[in-house]
Amino acid sequence: LGDLKRLGQVGTGTSGTVWLVKHVKTDSRYALKRVEKKDGKVPQEVQREIQILSENDHPFLMQMVKSMQTHSHMYVLAEYVGGGELYAAMRAISTVFSRQQAMFCVGSLLLMLEALHERNVLYRDLKPENILLDAEGYLKLVDFGTAKKLEAKCGRTFTPVGTAHYMAPEVMRGKGYGLEVDVWALGIVLYELLCGHLPFGENADNPREVCRAVLAGNPVLPQHLEPCARTLIGSLLEPRPRRRLGCGANGLQEIK
């Protein structure tokens, strides 16, 4: 830690504060996440995040450099991605993404999910705020604080985790969910890229209102969308997980 110089705060992750730091000897820049210990122990969710980060081996997934700790805090040093959030890029343009731009983004997200799901890792919070752009415009998935490794590819978990606007209906029903929820979130992001707004609860600030909108279903698909886009979005936002595109026997290959 003594070799790192703080340059400024760049964000707040799921479980801690993230700083831009510079290695004083090499001048290399990194993202440093600081998490406060609880009763002198590293929170279980942080241990889980570090484990998943340490196994990431894909150019579109954030890479961890190392983890360190003091008596009061845990530190995670990771690569720095300085191109800003996809969310900001979406808001910076006066129109929606073109078909080609949306295909590039969704194709990149598919590769991210494929790399995670091959390890039975459920991301659980796929949204534009958790997707950064690097210097060349490629996407990078960050903040693995809510990710969880399942026992098996068909495994289930029950804790309601994620952001309401991107949360699948099965998470809200509380009867267990699996890798399929990441595919639902992919459908929400695709809708947002092509339509410029969210399909459920766009103007709702209360999570309960958003949940009611999601469970009610029937997102409005604008007329300007091409038939293939309408079909793809509808298939990704299928409320029944087993019938959702990308959740069958051929997995994410169905979407490709």
Degrees to nearest 5, angle at CA 225 with 85 and 60: 30
What count of other Cβ atoms lies within 10 Å of the Cβ of residue 5?
A: 12
Tokens of 132: 């950064």
Beta strands in the chain (DSSP E): 4-12, 17-23, 29-36, 64-69, 73-79, 121-122, 131-133, 139-141, 148-149
Query: Taking the alpha carbons of 218, 219, 221, 227 in that order, is the dihedral positive or negative?
Result: negative
**Residues 85-111 as b or e (16 or more Cβ within 10 Å = b):** bbeebbeeeeebbeeeebebbbebbbb
Count CA atoms closer than 13 A to 75's CA, side-chain side: 17
CB 30 within 8 A of CB 16: no
Catalytic residue (one of 3, 27, 57, 125): 125
- Among this protein's residues, is 143 annotated catalytic? no
Are residues 200 and 210 in contact, defined by beta-carbon separation less than 8 angstroms? yes
Biggest CA–CA distance in the chain, Å, is 58
Rounded CA gap, 93 and 90, in Å? Answer: 6
**Is 38 known to sit in a ligand binding site?**
no
Among 109, 246, 153, 104, smallest CA distance to 254 is for 246
Q: Which residues are annotated as a binding site for ATP?
A: 33
Binding site per annotation, positions: 33
Catalytic residues: 125
